[in-house]
Amino acid sequence: MGRMAPMTETPVLAVDDLHVSYGPIGALRGCTLEVRAGETVVVVGANGAGKTTLLRAVCNMLPWTGAIRLDGAPTGRVPTHRLARQGVLHLPENRGVLTTQSVLENLQLAFDMYPPARSFADAVEEAFTHFPRLKERQQQPAGNLSGGEQQMLALARAIISPPKILLLDEPSLGLSPRMVREAYRVLGGFKARGMAILLVEQNVHAALRFADRGYVLRQGVIVRQGEADMLARDTELFNQYLGFT
């Protein structure tokens, strides 16, 4: 369990009555959620529930209505690249690595985007300690890496430059069971350091084991929320909202 912040503390991320439509399709229909300091929060839901849309809206990658606040400040008019410079690190489903740039150049970009207090050399050394495979391949274009290695490179960006909040879209998608365990081990390290994390996942069991709190999204509406261990024990929820056990 992560640290439970008092309810009165300003959340790192607060989303209030969020609506997003793709033409006539309402992808999010009034979502309200928050991530407090030091918390890991997961949004689970079946295919098409609106999970990717939620993270893209938080990054202002698409139009929305409602309210989104980062450390209490409305983000409505802040462009995506400026949110990145304010410490919002979004790791999308496709990992978001620049495939024609080398591994090292990808890490340099992460460093420059939201420079931490220490030097690039020190930051890279730590990332390579976690991922020796990236050290071996540091001069290679990131596009030459396997899917699992690209996920490691994506996660290494959060080591190089620890964000204010990490937004993760299905980190286990397309990975072997061994790589899924590895990814969650690394995420466990972020959590232990007190990084605020918002994770969206179809891999419900792994995500609920990992998170402090969870929300269940169904067809653009949050239908359940609570402590992750409570949600994980709720077999009815799995049948009713997620379509499997």
3-state secondary structure of 147: helix
Give how many residues touch ligand ATP by CB under 6 A.
Answer: 12
Give the nearer residue to ligand ATP in terms of CB position, either 52 or 108: 52
Q: CA separation (Å) from 129 to 37, 124, 133, 134, 226? A: 27, 8, 9, 9, 36
Nearer to ligand ATP, 22 or 244 (CB): 22
Q: Where are the beta strands (DSSP E) in 133-212?
A: 165-169, 196-201
- Asked if 214 interacts with ligand ATP (CB under 6 A), we say no
CA distance 39 to 37: 6
Tell me how far, at minimum, the Cβ of 49 lies from ligand ATP, in Å: 4
Is 188 a binding residue for ligand ATP by CB under 6 A? The answer is no
Select the residue interacting with ligand ATP from 14, 33, 53, 124 (CB under 6 A): 53
Cβ neighbors of 196 (< 8 A, separation 6 or more) are 12, 13, 35, 36, 37, 38, 39, 40, 164, 165, 166
25 vs 117, beta carbon nearer ligand ATP? 25
CB of 53 to ligand ATP, least distance (A): 3
Nearer Cβ to ligand ATP, position 49 or 124?
49
52 near ligand ATP, judged by CB under 6 A? yes
Angle at alpha carbon of residue 203, lines to 198 and 207, rounded to 5°: 45
Work out whether 50 is an interface residue with ligand ATP (CB under 6 A). yes
CA distance 175 to 173: 6
CB 239 within 8 A of CB 91: no
Give the nearest distance from C-beta 245 to ligand ATP in angstroms: 19
> Residue 197 CB, nearest distance to ligand ATP (Å)?
17
Query: What φ, ψ does residue 221 adopt, rounded to 5°?
Result: -130, 135
Q: What residues from 19 to 48 belong to the interface with ligand ATP (CB under 6 A)?
A: 22, 25, 27, 45, 47-48
| 87 contacts ligand ATP (rule: CB under 6 A) | no
Please give the residue ranges that form the binding site for ligand ATP (CB under 6 A).
Answer: 22, 25, 27, 45, 47-53, 202
